[in-house]
Amino acid sequence: MKHIIPIILFLIIGISQFTSAQIPQTMSYQGVLTGIDGSPVPDGTASLTFRLYNSSENGDTLWQETQSVQVTNGIFNVILGSNIPLNLPFDEQYWLGVTISGGTELTPRITLTASPYSLNSHSTIAETEPGQGLTIRDSNGEATHQFSANGDVMHLGIGTFLGGIVSGDTTIVPFDT
C-alpha cells in the first residue's frame, strides 16, 4: 500500500504536466494604420475587428473578435484569440480581414502564412497500427528516433526522455545524428 501512494502522486503530477502544456489557441499580429496620404495615424487607441475567412473575397466568417488596441506611430500589436479562442483546425487556407471602428473592411484581406498553421501541430501525431511503432523525424525528414513495442508498455516521465517505468517487451532505438 505504501508503494501505491507514491505511484498515484507521480501519475497525478505527470497528468497535470500534460494538461498544462496545451497549445495556446492564439496568434500574434502586427499592423500599420495609415491615412489616405500614407502617413501614420495619430497615436491613441483604435477599435479593431478581426475576422478569419475561408476565402480571399466574400466567403464565410469563421471567427471574429474586436479589440481595443494601442496605436503608436501607426503601429499596433495584438494577440488574436485573446478574447475569443481561435478554435479553428488550421487545416486549410484562411484570410484575415480587419475593420476599423465598425467601418468598411480593409482590402485586400491578408493571407495567413505558415506560423498560424502550427496550431494544427497537435493533430500531426498519426496513429499507427499495432507493431508499427513510432518514428520521430527532424525538419529534413531524417529519422532521429524510432520506438517500437511488443506487449504491455507503460512509460511515465516528465520532460523529454527523462526516464520512467518500462515494462513488457520494449525496444527504444536512437539514431545517431
Q: Which residues contact 49 (CB under 8 A, 6 or more apart)?
A: 64, 65, 66, 98, 99, 102
Distance, CA of 32 to CA of 36 (rounded, Å) = 13
Please state, as a whole number, how many other Cβ atoms lie within 10 Å of the Cβ of residue 36.
5
Rounded to 5 degrees, what are φ and ψ at 107? -125, 150
For the chain, which domains are there? Answer: 27-117 (2.60.40), 128-177 (no CATH)
Average pLDDT on 71-97 reads 92
Least confident segment among 2-11, 71-80, 96-105: 2-11
Amino acid at site 25:
Q
In this predicted structure, what is the pLDDT of residue 132? 63
The percentage of residues in the chain with a pLDDT greater than 70, rounded to a whole number, is 52
In this predicted structure, what is the pLDDT of residue 71? 96
Distance, CA of 57 to CA of 42 (rounded, Å) = 30
User: With 80 as the cut, is the pLDDT of residue 111 above it?
Assistant: yes
Q: Can you spell out the DSSP letters for 57-80?
A: SS--EEEEEEEEEEEBTTEEEEEE
In this predicted structure, what is the pLDDT of residue 91? 82
Question: Could you read off the pLDDT of 126-168 as tens digits, one per residue?
Answer: 555 655 666 666 656 676 666 665 555 544 434 454 444 444 5
What single DSSP character describes residue 40?
A: B
C-alpha cell at 153: 508498455
Question: Could you read off the pLDDT of 17-50 as tens digits, one per residue?
Answer: 444 456 678 889 999 999 999 999 999 999 999 9
Q: Which residue has the cell 518500462?
A: 166
User: With 50 as the cut, is the pLDDT of residue 78 above it?
Assistant: yes
In this predicted structure, what is the pLDDT of residue 107? 92
C-alpha cell at 101: 471602428
